[in-house]
Amino acid sequence: MKIILTSDVELWSWNKNFERDVRIGVLKLVELAENEKIPVTLFISLSDKGYAQADYLENISKLINLLKSKYVSFGIHTHCKNLPIDYSNKSDNLIDYSEEETVKILGWYKKELEKIAGKKIYVHRAGGYHIPKLEVLNECFKKTKIKIDSSLLFREYSRPFNLKNMREIPPATNMKYSKKRIVWSPEQMSFKEIIGFYKDAKSKTDVLVINFHSFSVYGDLGFKKKIWYSMPKLVRLLLRPIINLQKNKMKKGKVISKTSKPSNNFVNLKRMIKFLKEDGCVFTGFNA
């Protein structure tokens, strides 16, 4: 089995803190990749996601410039709010834009990320997995020369497939999890669930994509997400204003120091990697 380790790099609505959500998390993930001698693809959001952080692009650019590890590759992670380009800027989700605007967003991301990273960029993942219809994305990739997408949730077990201008290698999920936007990852699954998913997938695919988040190195996305999705949809709708208020109160986030312990998410990621290696899996990247 081939394993592709990925992490989305972005601010988290519970913290909105670059140091905690992005910088320290990314450095820890790169350290993990180097210690394990496995590749990791970092999907980089160049947007502050509408969280009013005017220095976000400058800060993320400086961080990327520090990452010289041979184990690190970069991909586009399209959050769309507050980009310094001329477009409607009405939503953070790529799916909400016209084909013309999508080409503009993807083209800007590719050019900017290549300039910052000093590498060719050919792989993409949409924020929140919110991609337009594949036929539209296929045409947009043709115009922007992006080759691979890893966003489609409703394709079980990362089974790749090709369109004329692109290759889709989805995050690993299945029908049990995808409707709740849960992917194969220690962020959102117990270790027992991770192993069960893997054993089931072995007869269905030869590749699985792990997705993590930079903010999960010291945060707990899974705990909050499981509680949230255990509630009826109407209850979630009614609670949304209260949750947003609580998030705003936590805007600065907890300070992370050298003595701070990584989250259980990150501990289980390391455990997951060890298990997969021992089972004979080969860690690889996306191949254009």
Give Cβ neighbours of residue 188 (< 8 Å, ≥ 6 apart): 177, 182, 221, 222, 225, 226
| pLDDT value of residue 13 | 87
For 187-214, the pLDDT digits (tens) are: 989 999 999 999 999 999 999 999 999 9
Q: Residue 213 and residue 208: Cα distance in Å, rounded? A: 17
The total of other beta-carbon atoms located within 10 Å of residue 86's CB is 9
The domain ranges of the chain are 2-284
What CA–CA distances, in Å, run from 117 to 111, 113, 163? 10, 6, 28
pLDDT (0 to 100) of residue 246: 59
CATH code of the domain made up of 2-284? 3.20.20.510
DSSP 78-121: EB-TT-SSSS----SBGGGS-HHHHHHHHHHHHHHHHHHHSS--
pLDDT of residue 87: 84
For the chain, report the end-to-end CA distance as a whole number of angstroms.
Answer: 19
Give the tens place of pLDDT for each residue, 69-94. Answer: 999 999 999 999 999 998 888 899 99
Reading the block at residue 242, the tokens are: 């209260």
Cβ density class 41-65: b for 16+ within 10 Å, e for less: bbbbbbbbbebebeebbeebbebbe
Neighbour tally for 159: CB within 10 Å: 16
For residues 214 and 10, the answer to whether their CB atoms sit within 8 Å is: yes
Beta strands 40-44 and 72-78 are parallel
| Partners of 2 in beta bridges | 207, 282
Strands 123-126 vs 72-78: parallel, antiparallel or unpaired: parallel
State residue 239's pLDDT score.
64
Give the residues of the chain that fall short of pLDDT 50. none
Burial of 149 (0-12, 13-18, 19+ CB in 10 A): buried
Within 10 A of 73 (CB to CB), how many other CB atoms are there? 19
**pLDDT computed for residue 22 by the predictor:** 97
